Structure formats: structure tokens, C-alpha cells
Amino acid sequence: MEFFDLKKQYQDLKSEIDAAVLDVLEDGVFIGGPAVEKFEKEVADFLGVKYAVSLNSGTDALYLSLKALGIGTGDEVITTAFTFFATAEVVAAAGAKPVFVDIDAKTFNIDADQIEAAITEKTKAIIPVHLFGQMADMAPIKKIAQKHNLKIIEDCAQAIGATQIIDGKEVKAGNIGDCGCFSFFPTKNLGAYGDGGMATTNNDEIAVKIRMLKVHGSSPENKYKNLEIGVNSRLDAIQAAILSVKIKYLDQWNDQRAAIAKRYGEAFEGVGDIVAPFAAPNNRHIYHQYTIRTAKRDQLVQFLKNAEIPAMIYFPFPMHLEPALGYLGYKMGDFPEAERAAAEVLSLPIYPELSSKEQAVIIAATKKFYD
């Protein structure tokens, strides 16, 4: 059994993907061009945003969003203490200081009630992370940002297709903040066959700036006239063509993930000390990961491994205890919920092609551990 079986998905879509790749090969345009432009429009339409700018990765989407918003040396950016390292890494890479806030124990997302206490005169932005496929509590975050004149950069790397009801309207992840940042890493709900990312925005100037920065800061009128220091961050046409095939199935795949999550949740109710994922009201959780909590996490991981069932830990270290960020001066105990999550979380296999039989095997083995 695989934690995520990319081969199954490819076999289901083989004829469509092969044809799409062949079209690019025959067209002969491999960087930019019609395939990339088509996919950018598809993402913008899917999310309901004005602009979708294709990039090399979700990490680049975060970094270039910060740069496009003018955030750098001397600035502070508030984000969650429990996330993938890239969220904090890009803040430091931009020259700014990551400032962490603890998480909500149920959702694993940033605790909106603790954000204001972290704001200083140097704070310029908030990066809420929509972790594991569920959006952070965006209504209060948006109000805080408006009150303090802060920018919002949504880290949507794990949440394409996730939604939330805000002011009576269903809004998709990536269509609330100043920028939304997406990853198309192969194992994502919408994954490429290599690296890929996207930055979204409804702001004309931000879109122009990110497009400029992604190609070495070059002028739209003359690519050899460089207006700023940028990077080389482009989504290639083959990946775009593959993603164009896949995006048609994304809502269906997300629904299938939710169905598996429902089955797991019902099966694990009352089993040992397992705490199943919490789907907040008014949220569409797309279950990029099915992440449970248990105080016996390490023993359960080993038990499942012995039963040839893969289980992963996302993430074993909270951000404030990462060695690379030691210079920030945080210590153990500063963010207790993030620390507890890092010690207790365990992700079980969940993907659309996971068979009912495989699900049953995972459920039975997990239950057996607690017998």
C-alpha cells in the first residue's frame, strides 16, 4: 500500500494526459505559451479571482507575494507556529522577521484570537495557513488586517478547492487575502508531475509585479531591461497541460476525499484516544491530509509500519523550535498547542483512488492497535 499512489491516478487519466503532453511536444512551446495561459485562466475561473500567475512552486508564490507587497528588511510577518517550513522560510528569505502565533487545538490553524497580541509597529502582513485542507478562520483575520492596515497572504498549498462562508457568501481559499499561494507538488489534491505553483490576486498592480519578478524583474516591454532584482520562477508548458487535464476532476476528487474521511471518522469514534479531524462549521474541508491526534502516536506509527501501512507525521517540529529559526529566540513552551500537535499528529492514507478494501485494512489495523 502507498501513502499516495500517483500511478493509479495516472492510469485513470492516461489517455487524456498523454494526449495533452503530446500536444505540447508537437506545439514546441515549452516555457509559457498557450498551455500555461490556458491553465492560468482555468485556475482563476475555478477560484473566482481576477488573476492567477503561474510559478515554479508554492514556495515561490509565497516569496514573490511578499516581494510584490514590498515586505522586506525591518518588517515583521505574523504566521502560524505549526506549518511546513516554507511558510516561515520565505519571510526570512525576504529579509523580514517571522512572528509566530499558536494554533487552535481543533483545526491546527492559526488561532485568530491570539493574532492582535503579536502585532507591533513593524508588522506588515499576516500569513494564515489553510492546513491539511481546511481554511483558517478568515473573517476575524480579515477584520484584524483591516483594523491594523496589514496585508494578508493566504498559504493555500494544501487547500485548493476548500471554501468558507464569510458574510453569508461561500468563498474559496485564495480569494480573500491580497494574495493566495498554491502548490502543485505531485501529491497535492491538484498535483503536477514535477514542481509547480500559482499566486492569485484581485489586484492589478500586484499581478503585474509578480509577473515581472518571476522573470528576473524584467520589463514587460523589454525582457532585457531589468527593473528589479527578481527570480527565475516559471511553470513549464508540460506541467500546465497535465494540470489542465486534472483540474476538471478536482471537485470530484475533493468529494471523494471527504467521503473517505467520513468513513474513517465514523470507524474511529470511541477508539482509544484517537481524535479525528475537526471540520469547522461553514467550512468545506478538502482533506489534503487525514490527520488524527493520539498520545500514542509514535507507537501507532510503528504498529502500522509493521502491518505495511504507511503513516506520516506532518509536522514533527513546530516552527519556533526549528534549528534554522533559532536566531528568533523562541523556546519550548512558547506555543503549547503547536508543540502538542507536533507530538501527537499522525496522517493516514487518503486519496481518491484509495480503494474501499484498502480503507478497511487501514481502519482494522488502527483499531487493532487499541485492542
C-alpha distances out from residue 112 to 121, 138, 177, 287, 338, Å: 19, 8, 15, 21, 14
Is residue 315 reached through a cis peptide bond, with omega within 30 degrees of 0 on the bond before it? yes
Nearest to 194 by CA among 242, 239, 233, 248: 239
Q: Which residues of the chain form beta strands (DSSP E)?
A: 51-55, 76-80, 97-101, 123-127, 151-155, 163-166, 169-172, 179-183, 197-201, 283-284, 290-293, 345-348
- 239 burial level (CB within 10 Å; 0-12, 13-18, 19+): buried
On whether the CB atoms of residues 84 and 315 are closer than 8 A, the answer is yes
**Which residues touch 1 (CB under 8 Å, ≥6 apart)?**
308, 309, 310, 349, 358, 361, 362
Residue 233's φ and ψ, nearest 5 degrees, are -140, 90
CA torsion through residues 41, 44, 48, 51, sign: negative
On whether the CB atoms of residues 157 and 132 are closer than 8 A, the answer is no
> How far apart (Å, rounded) are the C-alpha atoms in residues 285 and 167?
19
> How far apart (Å, rounded) are the C-alpha atoms in residues 73 and 148?
20
> How far apart (Å, rounded) are the C-alpha atoms in residues 293 and 290?
10
**Domains and their CATH numbers in the chain:** 6-247 (3.40.640.10), 250-370 (3.90.1150.10)
Nearest to 211 by CA among 30, 26, 51: 51
SS3 label, residue 75 = coil
What tens-digit pLDDT sequence spans the chain (371 residues)? Answer: 999 999 999 999 999 999 999 999 999 999 999 999 999 999 999 999 999 999 999 999 999 999 999 999 999 999 999 999 999 999 999 999 999 999 999 999 999 999 999 999 999 999 999 999 999 999 999 999 999 999 999 999 999 999 999 999 999 999 999 999 999 999 999 999 999 999 999 999 999 999 999 999 999 889 999 999 999 999 999 999 999 999 999 999 999 999 999 999 999 999 999 999 999 999 999 999 999 999 999 999 999 999 999 999 999 999 999 999 999 999 999 999 999 999 999 999 999 999 999 999 999 999 999 99
Q: What is the reported pLDDT for 217?
A: 96
SS3 label, residue 32 = coil
DSSP 325: G
On whether the CB atoms of residues 350 and 314 are closer than 8 A, the answer is no
> How far apart (Å, rounded) are the C-alpha atoms in residues 339 and 247?
35
What strand order describes the sheet that includes 163-166?
A: 169-172, 163-166, 283-284
